[in-house]
Amino acid sequence: MPSSERPRVGLPPFEQVVQEHGPRVLALCRARVDPADVDDAWSETFLAALSAWPDLSTDLDVTAWLTTVARRKCIDIHRSRARRRTDPVAEVPEVVAADAETDDEGVWRHVAGLPDKQRQVITYRYLGGLSYARIVGLVGGTEAAARRAASDGLKSLREKEIR
């Protein structure tokens, strides 16, 4: 619980998100990964979402965001399966990845158009659920700069999103 970060007013308790979106994310995971991996995909999705939740803007589209997180997690699972497989022919991840690139919903469509730093930080933070400390380890710079990049990126995403 970061005491230096003032909690934003207006984000509902995360339990509400799980209750409201749990069944839909489960259906999505079932459609995209093997039955044996469904639990992992569902849990990874909500863990990443829980991690990012306090920093989310209250006006982001939670449904679209969670859908994107779940798709990424399903792709991750395909990729790690493919890496483990001895069979060199692993076409499944390519197909799923291509699909995810083209039909991401809502505001997340515009992430690709952000300046590099903002795009990287936002992807790691909101789609990967990484802490700012870990993001700085990946993209360099300071935590304060990473937070600023995330905040600027979210701001321009909101401006592009006319829902």
Partner 1 sequence: MTTETADLTRLRAGLAARADDAGLLDIAYRVVDSPLGALLLAATEQGVLRVAFASEGHDAVLTDLADRVSPRVLAAPRRLDEAARELDEYFAGRLREITVPIDLRLLTGYRREVVTALPRVAYGHTASYAQLAALTGRPRAVRAVGSACAHNPVPLLLPCHRIVRSDGGAGDYLGGPDAKRALLRLEGAGAGRTVGP
Contact positions vs partner 1 (CB under 8 A): 1, 7, 9-15, 18, 22-23, 26, 39, 42-43, 46-47, 50-51, 53-54
Measured distance CA(94)–CA(56) in Å, rounded: 30
DSSP state of 4: T
SS3 of residue 10 by DSSP: coil
Distance of CA 81 to the CA centre of its chain: 20
Q: Min. distance of Cβ 49 from partner 1 in angstroms? A: 10
Pick 43 or 80: Cβ nearer partner 1: 43
Q: Min. distance of Cβ 53 from partner 1 in angstroms? A: 6
Q: Min. distance of Cβ 80 from partner 1 in angstroms? A: 17
Pick 114 or 127: Cβ nearer partner 1: 127
Pick 40 or 152: Cβ nearer partner 1: 40
Angle made by CA atoms 134, 8, 73, in degrees to the nearest 5? 40
Measured distance CA(77)–CA(75) in Å, rounded: 5
Q: Min. distance of Cβ 23 from partner 1 in angstroms? A: 6
96 within 8 A of 78, measured Cβ to Cβ: yes
